[in-house]
Amino acid sequence: MMGVVFLLWSAALETGMKEVDDQHKELFRQIDTLLDAGNANRFREVLDFLDGYIVKHFTDEQKLHARSKYPKASEHKAYHDNYVVIFRKLKAKYIAEGPSAVNNMEINKSVAGWLKEHILVHDREFAAYYKSL
Protein backbone atom coordinates (compact mmCIF):
# COMPACT_ATOMS: atom_id res chain seq x y z
CA MET A 1 0.00 0.00 0.00
CA MET A 2 1.06 3.54 -0.63
CA GLY A 3 2.26 5.84 2.14
CA VAL A 4 -0.37 8.46 1.39
CA VAL A 5 -1.75 10.53 4.24
CA PHE A 6 -5.52 10.41 3.97
CA LEU A 7 -6.53 12.60 6.88
CA LEU A 8 -4.51 15.70 7.65
CA TRP A 9 -5.01 17.73 10.79
CA SER A 10 -5.24 21.47 10.25
CA ALA A 11 -5.90 24.50 12.41
CA ALA A 12 -9.33 24.77 10.75
CA LEU A 13 -10.33 21.63 12.69
CA GLU A 14 -9.37 22.97 16.11
CA THR A 15 -12.18 23.44 18.59
CA GLY A 16 -10.02 25.40 21.03
CA MET A 17 -10.61 22.74 23.67
CA LYS A 18 -7.20 21.15 24.23
CA GLU A 19 -8.34 17.73 25.44
CA VAL A 20 -10.86 17.37 22.60
CA ASP A 21 -8.36 18.59 19.98
CA ASP A 22 -5.66 16.23 21.28
CA GLN A 23 -8.05 13.29 21.03
CA HIS A 24 -9.11 14.32 17.53
CA LYS A 25 -5.46 14.52 16.47
CA GLU A 26 -4.87 11.00 17.82
CA LEU A 27 -7.89 9.71 15.91
CA PHE A 28 -6.49 11.27 12.74
CA ARG A 29 -3.06 9.68 13.33
CA GLN A 30 -4.56 6.26 13.95
CA ILE A 31 -6.86 6.40 10.91
CA ASP A 32 -3.84 7.34 8.76
CA THR A 33 -1.94 4.41 10.26
CA LEU A 34 -4.85 2.10 9.50
CA LEU A 35 -5.10 3.23 5.89
CA ASP A 36 -1.36 2.73 5.46
CA ALA A 37 -1.05 -0.52 7.45
CA GLY A 38 0.79 -3.08 5.33
CA ASN A 39 1.32 -5.53 8.16
CA ALA A 40 -1.73 -7.67 8.96
CA ASN A 41 -0.86 -7.81 12.68
CA ARG A 42 -0.47 -4.04 12.94
CA PHE A 43 -3.64 -3.57 10.91
CA ARG A 44 -5.75 -5.54 13.43
CA GLU A 45 -4.03 -3.78 16.32
CA VAL A 46 -4.94 -0.35 14.91
CA LEU A 47 -8.56 -1.42 14.29
CA ASP A 48 -8.87 -2.60 17.88
CA PHE A 49 -7.21 0.56 19.21
CA LEU A 50 -9.55 2.76 17.18
CA ASP A 51 -12.60 0.84 18.34
CA GLY A 52 -11.77 1.53 21.97
CA TYR A 53 -10.45 5.05 21.45
CA ILE A 54 -13.52 6.20 19.54
CA VAL A 55 -15.76 5.08 22.40
CA LYS A 56 -13.47 6.73 24.97
CA HIS A 57 -13.39 9.99 23.01
CA PHE A 58 -17.17 10.10 22.57
CA THR A 59 -17.69 9.31 26.25
CA ASP A 60 -15.34 12.13 27.24
CA GLU A 61 -17.15 14.56 24.93
CA GLN A 62 -20.54 13.51 26.24
CA LYS A 63 -19.38 14.15 29.82
CA LEU A 64 -18.57 17.72 28.74
CA HIS A 65 -22.04 17.97 27.19
CA ALA A 66 -23.67 16.86 30.45
CA ARG A 67 -21.55 19.14 32.63
CA SER A 68 -22.32 22.15 30.49
CA LYS A 69 -26.00 21.25 29.99
CA TYR A 70 -25.49 21.40 26.23
CA PRO A 71 -28.96 21.75 24.66
CA LYS A 72 -28.05 19.54 21.68
CA ALA A 73 -26.45 16.78 23.78
CA SER A 74 -28.90 14.03 22.80
CA GLU A 75 -28.63 14.92 19.10
CA HIS A 76 -24.82 14.93 19.35
CA LYS A 77 -24.85 11.57 21.15
CA ALA A 78 -26.98 10.12 18.34
CA TYR A 79 -24.27 11.16 15.84
CA HIS A 80 -21.67 9.45 18.01
CA ASP A 81 -23.73 6.26 18.35
CA ASN A 82 -24.26 6.12 14.59
CA TYR A 83 -20.52 6.55 13.98
CA VAL A 84 -19.72 3.62 16.28
CA VAL A 85 -22.16 1.43 14.31
CA ILE A 86 -20.62 2.51 10.98
CA PHE A 87 -17.07 1.96 12.27
CA ARG A 88 -17.84 -1.49 13.68
CA LYS A 89 -19.48 -2.64 10.43
CA LEU A 90 -16.45 -1.51 8.46
CA LYS A 91 -14.13 -3.07 11.05
CA ALA A 92 -15.87 -6.44 10.62
CA LYS A 93 -15.61 -6.11 6.84
CA TYR A 94 -11.93 -5.13 7.07
CA ILE A 95 -11.17 -8.09 9.33
CA ALA A 96 -12.98 -10.48 6.99
CA GLU A 97 -11.53 -9.12 3.74
CA GLY A 98 -8.29 -7.42 4.74
CA PRO A 99 -6.91 -4.16 3.43
CA SER A 100 -7.65 -3.32 -0.19
CA ALA A 101 -7.98 -0.19 -2.26
CA VAL A 102 -11.78 -0.48 -2.12
CA ASN A 103 -11.85 -1.02 1.64
CA ASN A 104 -9.42 1.84 2.19
CA MET A 105 -11.60 4.17 0.12
CA GLU A 106 -14.64 3.10 2.15
CA ILE A 107 -12.79 3.70 5.44
CA ASN A 108 -11.53 7.03 4.13
CA LYS A 109 -15.04 8.15 3.12
CA SER A 110 -17.11 6.66 5.93
CA VAL A 111 -14.75 6.91 8.90
CA ALA A 112 -12.33 9.71 8.07
CA GLY A 113 -14.79 11.82 6.08
CA TRP A 114 -17.50 11.54 8.73
CA LEU A 115 -15.06 12.46 11.49
CA LYS A 116 -13.79 15.54 9.68
CA GLU A 117 -17.32 16.74 8.91
CA HIS A 118 -18.46 16.06 12.48
CA ILE A 119 -15.58 18.08 13.93
CA LEU A 120 -16.10 20.99 11.53
CA VAL A 121 -19.83 21.24 12.18
CA HIS A 122 -20.99 19.63 15.42
CA ASP A 123 -17.87 19.68 17.62
CA ARG A 124 -17.05 23.25 16.74
CA GLU A 125 -20.66 24.24 17.48
CA PHE A 126 -20.41 22.57 20.88
CA ALA A 127 -17.03 24.17 21.55
CA ALA A 128 -18.46 27.63 20.85
CA TYR A 129 -21.29 26.91 23.29
CA TYR A 130 -18.93 25.50 25.93
CA LYS A 131 -16.49 28.40 25.73
CA SER A 132 -19.34 30.93 25.98
CA LEU A 133 -20.31 29.73 29.47
pTM: 0.88
Helix (H) or strand (E) run with residue 122 in it: none
Residues 62/77, Cβ–Cβ less than 8 Å: yes
Tens digits of pLDDT across the chain (133 residues): 344 445 678 899 999 999 999 999 999 888 888 777 556 667 788 889 999 999 999 999 999 999 999 999 999 999 999 999 999 999 999 889 877 778 878 887 888 889 999 999 999 999 999 999 9
Nearest to 111 by CA among 34, 36, 37: 34
What are the backbone angles phi and psi of residue 109, rounded to the nearest 5°?
-75, -50
Burial of 77 from C-beta contacts in 10 A (0-12 / 13-18 / 19+): middle
* Structural domains in the chain, sorted by start: 14-132 (1.20.120.50)
**In this structure, how many other beta carbons lie within 10 angstroms of the beta carbon of residue 7?**
20
